[in-house]
Amino acid sequence: MQKMVMEEAQGQQDLLYKAVEHMQDLGAEFADAKSQSVRNTGISSVNGELRNLVRKGVGGVCVRAWIGGRWGYGNVSSFDKDAVMKAAEDAVRNAAGDKRSDLSLEPVVVKKHMKAQVKIHPDSVDLTEKIEVVRDLDKVQSIDERIINRIGSYSEEIKDNCLVNSAGSDISWQEVRTLCRAMSVAADGQRFERYYDGPDSTLGFEVVKDTDIEALGRKTAQEAIATLGAVRCPSGNLTVLSDPMITGLLAHEAMGHASEGDEITKKRSFLTDACGKKVASDIICMYDNGTVPGAHGSVPFDDEGTPSTCTKIIDNGVYNGYMHSLETASQLGVKPTGNGRAENFGKRTWVRMTNTYFGPGEWDKDELIAETKDGILTDKMVNGMEDPVGGCFEAKALRGYIIKNGEIKDIVQSFTLTGKSVEILQTVDALSDEVVLDGGMCGKGIEDWVRVSSGGPYMRARMIVGGGQ
């Protein structure tokens, strides 16, 4: 099999050392080399039919040379020594050109070799059992003839990484991610609606074992049917009680992307020079934390070998700090925060989030609803979009409810939320006492997808709501 077990890691390290030495010999001021082997299993079932069942094994090497304030990259989907040395030469050649700066990088030097901390490694579970989970997840959604699509899915990713650099780091680690999901599509002849749910993690197969598959599937089907009766959401500047998913989008899309160090060094972010300034109500704290146990965006090291950290971005309403890669940390004279990430060995490494969330408040969720006179309660998200330049928030909610005099009334169909992020955060007057994280994929611009999570508590604020048609 293609998997690179830890005993084989040393062979990879030797190859990477040679590549780094080669780049230094060719003139690199700093160089790193990373090998990666990724194994995926994906299973999905639609309406009782196994739609997809696939295993993948991809792997290769990324080498980088830093010369005159500029990176040169060489990527190759091969572990062959000659191919990797050729990539090293490409990297040095690509870094050539007019000197950009005298900036030197200051990596944290780490020598560590880690296995994934999971209870049930997916490798130890028979494929039959995984297929059964997916088929069960599909089958249990069959509760009503209005459910026209029952979709069950399972995926696992096992990623083995080795990294060495010219500063002396020598690291290997494994990341395991396991998730399953149910999605139901309901139709009544007039319209379609959908609902989804399911766990995600950097855990092993225990995340599936701990899930009540029948309850999960039945719930998605019931909620999809319920949404068929949804009315159009009112539009305007309204009180919104955002659920953890939408709260997380506000953290991730509106404030998180704008807190990425490269957006700051380019002065592309509306949060440039914001440290020490009031950007939210006093009850708001916000974090990017790559060390949350089991969370989908957690990583022991970023793709430059910097150990993950917890960055406090907003501290009781006051802007506190940014996320950094090696390059942006050096540009701003601070320590790297473990946010230099890449989609895989073939993609660019730059500042990316991990688990980004608002901290909790003191309200019980039900009390918070009861104390809201008029408003909209959101329920799950469709997507969101960043706006580091303009500081605007945009999120699409899958559905929601109208709150009237502290009671949940009509269910409303999908709608859009927007507004200036800082203005929204200034209006936050209540947070629930529990933080929930939701895993997903984050692109920067329009590509370079990395695994992250975002979340927070239920949050009450004023936002512009567009009810759709």
Scanning residues 107 to 126, which ones bind other proteins (CB under 8 A)?
Answer: 126
Count other C-beta atoms under 10 Å from residue 76's C-beta. 19
Q: If binding is defined by CB under 8 A, does position 294 make contact with other proteins?
A: no
Please identify, among the stretches 66-74, 154-162, 371-379, 428-436, the one whose residues bind other proteins according to the rule CB under 8 A: 66-74
Among 392, 411, 425, 430, binds other proteins (CB under 8 A): 392
CA–CA gap between residue 142 and residue 138 (Å, rounded): 8
What does the DSSP assignment read for 90-155?
HHHHHT-SS--------PPP-EEE-----SS-GGGS-HHHHHHHHHHHHHTT-S-TTEEEEEEEEE
Q: With contacts defined by CB under 8 A, how many residues of the chain interact with other proteins?
A: 83
Among 6, 58, 318, 334, binds other proteins (CB under 8 A): 58
* Amino acid at site 108: V
Q: Do 72 and 96 meet the contact criterion of CB atoms below 8 Å apart?
A: yes
Q: If binding is defined by CB under 8 A, does position 83 make contact with other proteins?
A: yes
CA–CA gap between residue 326 and residue 303 (Å, rounded): 10
Please identify, among the stretches 58-66, 210-218, 302-310, 424-432, the one whose residues bind other proteins according to the rule CB under 8 A: 58-66
Among 76, 163, 179, 284, binds other proteins (CB under 8 A): 76
Nearest to 75 by CA among 347, 424, 445, 384: 347
Q: Do 304 and 336 meet the contact criterion of CB atoms below 8 Å apart?
A: yes
- Least distance from C-beta 90 to other proteins, angstroms? 4
Please identify, among the stretches 215-223, 275-283, 388-396, 425-433, the one whose residues bind other proteins according to the rule CB under 8 A: 388-396
Measured CA distances, 325 to 114, 210, 415, 418 (Å): 22, 36, 36, 30
Q: Which of residues 158-217 bind other proteins (CB under 8 A)?
A: 185, 187, 191-194
Among 30, 73, 205, 363, binds other proteins (CB under 8 A): 73
Structure-token pair, residue 130 = 């995984």
- Least distance from C-beta 321 to other proteins, angstroms? 21
CA–CA gap between residue 250 and residue 21 (Å, rounded): 44
Among 155, 169, 355, 416, binds other proteins (CB under 8 A): 416
Q: If binding is defined by CB under 8 A, does position 46 make contact with other proteins?
A: yes
Tell me whether residue 43 or residue 314 sits nearer to other proteins (CB atom). Answer: 43
CA–CA gap between residue 389 and residue 371 (Å, rounded): 35
Q: Where are the alpha helices (DSSP H) in 110-198?
A: 127-139
Per-residue x/- track, 322-361, other proteins (CB under 8 A): ------------------------x-x-------------
Q: If binding is defined by CB under 8 A, does position 268 make contact with other proteins?
A: yes
Q: Which of residues 24-43 bind other proteins (CB under 8 A)?
A: none
CA–CA gap between residue 197 and residue 184 (Å, rounded): 9
Q: If binding is defined by CB under 8 A, does position 449 make contact with other proteins?
A: no
